[in-house]
Amino acid sequence: MRPFIVANWKMHGLKADMNEVKAIDSAAAKFDHIDVGIGLPATLIHLAAQNAGHAQIGAQDCHQAQQGAHTGCLSAAMLSEAGASFSIVGHSERRADQAETSRLIAQKARSLQNASMGAILCIGEDLATRQSGTALDFVAGQLVESLALADDTSLSPERLTIAYEPIWAIGTGHVPELTDIAAMHSKLRSQLVSSFGPAGDAIRILYGGSVKASNAKDILALKNVNGALVGGASLKAESFVPIIAAA
């Protein structure tokens, strides 16, 4: 399986940061056995797509409807036309700040798939859930809910990527024990196979949460860790490219 290393720039980045995009793109050309994605603010997608030939340019959210009276929102077709080939959906910051539910996130992922775009669907437990010892079942349940569409159908396994991001590890410098990451990814793999059959084996499961050059190699070597979703360390090529190299 080709590793997928994805930058999540969150609400960072202006035109002046295009040199970082270009440097990341050069690394993507060099490491051509790895898929590299850059999840950008929507305002930078068009420009970045013009400047990148190897890295995939992506968004960080998308509305679930194709079009309509939704002030301030962007559809999958709009993001695709701007030059995005994927979008992150269901990041824990959106689940918290915008009260997004797993049901809504499934609809967003479906709208991306309908526009022939990739969806990186995020799941992960908070600290209290981790400490209570119920994280494996909680996150597997969140995955099932985030795959289910209202009409009792499910998302397609095509162009679907899962990102496991423990909320307590995001932006904190705290990373779970490697054995805990491996246990979670193994649980999620089993769940994907039980949801999709053999196609579930081909879905990439990324780890995210305080990934940096110093821990990337060990994390990416774990079974069923098929890439990384990187926030803080992805904003500068000098800290992100070593993570690509570690894969």
Identify the residue among 24, 44, 62, 230 touching ligand PGA (CB under 6 A): 230
Enclosing H/E stretch for 121 = strand 118-123
| Closest chain position to ligand PGA (CB) | 231
CB 75 within 8 A of CB 64: no
What is the rounded distance in angstroms from the CA atom of residue 120 to the CA atom of residue 109? 8
187: Cβ contacts below 8 Å, ≥ 6 apart:
136, 139, 140
Nearest to 231 by CA among 184, 183, 167, 177: 167
Number of residues that bind ligand PGA (CB under 6 A): 13
Beta carbon of residue 6, minimum distance to ligand PGA (angstroms, whole number) = 8
Segment interacting with ligand PGA (CB under 6 A) among 57-65, 154-162, 207-215, 237-245: 207-215
CA 34 to chain centre: 15
What is the rounded distance in angstroms from the CA atom of residue 134 to the CA atom of residue 117? 33
Segment interacting with ligand PGA (CB under 6 A) among 25-33, 70-78, 124-132, 204-212: 204-212
Residue with Cβ nearer ligand PGA (196 or 241): 241
Give the per-residue contact string, 153-192, with ligand PGA (x = CB under 6 A; - = no): ------------x----xx---------------------
Say whether 70 is catalytic: no
28: Cβ contacts below 8 Å, ≥ 6 apart:
34, 36, 52, 54, 55, 244
Identify the residue among 75, 231, 237, 244 touching ligand PGA (CB under 6 A): 231
Beta carbon of residue 37, minimum distance to ligand PGA (angstroms, whole number) = 12
The contact set with ligand PGA (CB under 6 A) reads 8, 165, 170-171, 208-211, 229-233
